[in-house]
Amino acid sequence: MIPIRDTAPCHNRPIMTWAIIATCTVIFIVMEFLPDALGYWVINHFGMVAIRYSNPQWAHSYGLSSDYGFSFLSNLFFHNDWLHLLSNMWFLWIFGDNVEDRMGRFPFLIFYLLCGALATFLQWYFDPEIVIPVIGASGAIAGVLAAYFCLYPLESVIVWIPFIFPIVLPIPAIAFLGLWVMLQLHNATEVVFFTHQSASVAWWAHIGGFFAGFFSYRIFLKKKSIEQNL
């Protein structure tokens, strides 16, 4: 199911959501034009390389000195390819505006970064020896999805079901996002308990971001929004 739009009203321009989308897009385009060697260096320094924190001596021997955990945030603004970028930014475009509307611009940014950092931490915790950089905004966006899940459970998400039945239909947000988080849990636990291998997708970051958003979103709401949800 591919979400097309939602039905929740938005009363203010989502400037911060647009700014995040623009920043990720510009960084991705710049990375596309960098020489391979320089691009490799940037990704390994600003992406979250788990072993950098699990085995600092090994990391230092490969030129990855301590950055005091900065990559737990910086990795949120890098993406592997166009599909990775577009899928993340599309979800942020659909769901981010309403969450920002209820939080305000700068609280929303702090919330976004907090969820992303906690999401990356959980990915590191479950896969501490991986040498491939973890990058992408999906952990932070998962936190946004959790806030939307709590704030707009009965709003409709208009989805497109391609391939088998090329139809468009409305689905309650609580059902669409509930299915989404169950899929992440399934994939993450399958990797840990059945395949015992590192996954190409940071499933634990998705789960960590969602639960970080689920338990913290109220802290960032405007006072009026809190009263509306009581």
pLDDT > 90: percent of the chain: 66
In the structure encoding, which two tokens stand for residue 155, read together? 């709003």
What pLDDT sits at residue 195? 47
pLDDT in tens, 10-45: 999 999 999 999 999 999 999 999 999 999 999 999
What does the CA dihedral 94, 95, 98, 99 come to, rounded to 10 degrees? Answer: -150
Domains and CATH numbers, the chain: 2-228 (1.20.1540.10)
pLDDT in tens, 142-156: 999 999 999 999 999
Q: Does residue 197 have a pLDDT over 60?
A: no
Average pLDDT of the residues of the chain? 89
Q: Are 88 and 141 in contact (CB under 8 A)?
A: yes
pLDDT in tens, 49-98: 998 898 888 878 877 777 888 999 999 999 999 999 999 999 999 999 99
What pLDDT sits at residue 201? 66
Q: Does residue 228 have a pLDDT over 80?
A: no
Q: Does residue 165 have a pLDDT over 80?
A: no
What pLDDT sits at residue 60? 81
Q: Does residue 196 have a pLDDT over 50?
A: no
Sheet holding 2-6, edge to edge: 2-6, 156-161, 167-172
Tell me the pLDDT band of 210, cut-offs 50, 70 and 90: very high
DSSP assignments along 32-77, one per residue: HHS-HHHHHHHHHHHSB-THHHH-HHHHHHTT----TTTHHHHGGG
What pLDDT sits at residue 1? 78
Q: Does residue 137 have a pLDDT over 90?
A: yes
What is the DSSP secondary structure assignment for residue 94, as one 8-state letter? H
